[in-house]
């Protein structure tokens, strides 16, 4: 059986992510232990709140270098995906640097509220095992104020006043800006793909 762990980066969504994984038959252990993370088959980095707070938690647990050198498939979720990038504009926070680029604040405008909260459509940009079975125009549930730009690592984008990366992958590192645990069949499919296939 595939061993899945959740990195204890802090965040109120960890319980719901665990429950979503349990529905898929994966009993993911919540851990801040480096050896347990390195021994896992799949590693998920969830996060809710501020990038600086989550990074401080990872430093406190001495997990920054563990995640930077991990040779297992790693999936960041919500703020967790933002931590994968080099830098977040939020509180001018240096992040893990596993993906190039900066995470920037979404721009509010007439009719465009920030934070971006609610269901939004996904636009497929390229294929990959992580998004197998997720179609162009499918909906996912977002709650965020910051996001990464669309680049060559973007599998799916979405739009809220501006286009942003909704699902990214580079090698064994990937992430979803939306909440898979709150995104119904689309979120369940993304998590199932990650558990079953890793990142191919």
> What residues act catalytically?
78, 179, 181
Give the confidence band of 176 by pLDDT, cuts at 50, 70, 90. Answer: very high
Does the pLDDT of residue 14 top 80, yes or no? no
Separation CA 23–CA 178 (nearest Å) = 19
Give Rg (Cα) of the chain: 15
Separation CA 22–CA 20 (nearest Å) = 5
More confidently predicted of 12 and 139 = 139
Structural domains of the chain sorted by starting position, each given as residue range(s) with its CATH number in brackets: 4-197 (3.40.50.880)
Strand partners, 169: 174
Does the pLDDT of residue 172 top 90, yes or no? yes
């Amino acid at each position: 059986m595939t061993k899945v762990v959740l990195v204890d980066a802090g965040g109120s969504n960890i319980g719901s992510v665990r429950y979503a994984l349990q529905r898929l038959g994966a009993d993911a252990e919540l851990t801040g232990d480096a050896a347990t993370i390195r021994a896992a088959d799949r590693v998920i980095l969830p996060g809710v709140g501020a990038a600086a707070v989550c990074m401080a938690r990872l430093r406190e647990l001495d997990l920054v270098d563990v995640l930077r050198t991990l040779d297992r498939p790693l999936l960041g979720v919500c703020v967790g995906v933002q931590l994968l990038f080099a830098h977040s504009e939020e509180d001018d926070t240096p992040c893990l640097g596993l993906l190039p680029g900066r995470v920037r604040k979404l721009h509010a405008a007439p009719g465009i509220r920030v934070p971006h909260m609610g269901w939004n459509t996904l636009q497929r940009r390229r294929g990959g095992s992580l998004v197998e079975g997720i179609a162009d125009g499918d909906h996912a549930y977002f709650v965020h104020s910051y996001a990464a730009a669309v680049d060559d690592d973007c599998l799916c984008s979405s739009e809220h006043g501006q286009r942003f990366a909704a699902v990214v992958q580079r090698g064994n590192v990937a992430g979803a800006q939306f909440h898979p645990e709150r995104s119904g069949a689309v979120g369940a499919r993304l998590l199932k793909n990650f558990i079953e296939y890793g990142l191919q």
